[in-house]
Amino acid sequence: MSEQIRILFVDDEERILRSLALQFRREYEVLTESNPRRALERLKSENVQIIVSDQRMPQMSGAELLAQAREIAPYTLRILLTGYSDLDAAVEALNSGGIFRYLTKPWDQQEMAFTLRQAAQIAARQLQAPKVSAVIPQAALNVLLLDEDASTLDVVAEFCVAGGHRLLRAASLSDAVILLNSQPIDLLVSDLQVAGEDTAPLLKSLAQAHPRLLSLVVTPFCDTQALLKLINEAQIFRYLPKPIRRGLFDKGLLAAAEQAQLWRAQPAQVVTRLAQQPREERDREKVGSLLGMLGRLRERLIA
């Protein structure tokens, strides 16, 4: 597997590139580039399965680079490195670049190696999978809304009517679990607090129990560290702030529907997301409990 996987590291500091190349050249074919614009040009002519970019670079931010990389090579797995906590950069990277992981600098060598190993496993499956037709048949999706906000309901309901999708609503975590166990859900739109309950453990559980379910978080909650956990541990598809910005919300829903249709056309074994296990014991306990409650969902997907 490793011989087939090509990783492009992008960082304006040559010493960091040398360190990364030295660490990973035995396992992967390693490419390095200190200029993000040259990196984008290379993506146009060279097959790259994984791209790892620093966030803070003088010519272009890592979030901007990954967003453009997604347009050039949509099947690359994109990882963002940053040495500071910046909510705006994290949101931009998630919403525009579709990142696989967000890692902080200075990085932990074992964590970096493990993250690349996971990305390489997914990339290898993608290389072996049959090519999907460019024409993806459109089908009705099941959309679960876990949010009490009337404005969120208005946008999601209008999206479902326009696209011919089915809208399901849950007023609590227990309601959501019942629906997830009984209905084939494609998209989940959720706030991080519903009826006084924290929905993050459910999002993290679904990333493990149902990797193809796409989660869009719509919330006024703005905690950088919590967002980074949701990117890595819940593999959320979009993070959308409240009060709602209609254009951004519509764009996120349409992108999620397009991705869901694409995954439907792919073999079931080709999973393009792999969530990081929660690090905190309390989170692991909550996720473990919810995974037990989602037993019927797992059985249905495995069958």
Q: Which residues contact 204 (CB under 8 A, 6 or more apart)?
A: 230, 233, 234, 275, 278, 283, 287
Q: Is the pTM of this model over 0.85?
A: yes
d(CA 212, CA 209) in angstroms, rounded, equals 9
- Across the strands, what pairs with 53? 10, 80
pLDDT in tens, 210-223: 988 999 999 997 77
CA end-to-end distance (rounded Å), the chain: 28
Go through the domains of the chain in sequence order and give each one's CATH number.
Answer: 2-128 (3.40.50.2300), 142-302 (3.40.50.2300)
Check residue 108 and give its pLDDT. 87
Check residue 274 and give its pLDDT. 81
Dihedral-angle region of residue 212 (phi above 0 means left; psi in -120 to 50 means alpha; beta otherwise):
alpha
Instruction: Classify residue 78 as exposed, middle or buried by CB count within 10 Å of its CB (0-12, 13-18, 19+).
Output: buried
d(CA 48, CA 39) in angstroms, rounded, equals 11
Annotate the chain with three-state secondary structure. CHHHCEEEEECCCHHHHHHHHHHHCCCCEEEEECCHHHHHHHHHHCCCCEEEEECCCCCCCHHHHHHHHHHHCCCCEEEEEECCCCHHHHHHHHHHHCCCEEEECCCCHHHHHHHHHHHHHHHHHHHHCCCCCCCCCCCCCEEEEECCCHHHHHHHHHHHHHHCCEEEECCCHHHHHHHHHHCCCCEEEECCEECCEECHHHHHHHHHHCCCCEEEEEECCCCHHHHHHHHHHHCCCEEEECCCCHHHHHHHHHHHHHHHHHHHHCCCCCCCCCCCCCCCHHHHHHHHHHHHHCHHHHHHHHC
Check residue 302 and give its pLDDT. 65
Check residue 94 and give its pLDDT. 85
Q: What angle do CA 186, 189, 195 make, to 5 degrees?
A: 130
Q: Which residues contact 117 (CB under 8 A, 6 or more apart)?
A: none
Contact in structure between 146 and 194 (CB atoms under 8 Å): yes
d(CA 85, CA 90) in angstroms, rounded, equals 8
Regions of the chain where pLDDT drops below 70: 1-3, 83-87, 129-137, 267-272, 302-303
pLDDT in tens, 182-207: 999 999 999 999 999 999 999 999 99
β-pair type (187-190, 29-33)? unpaired
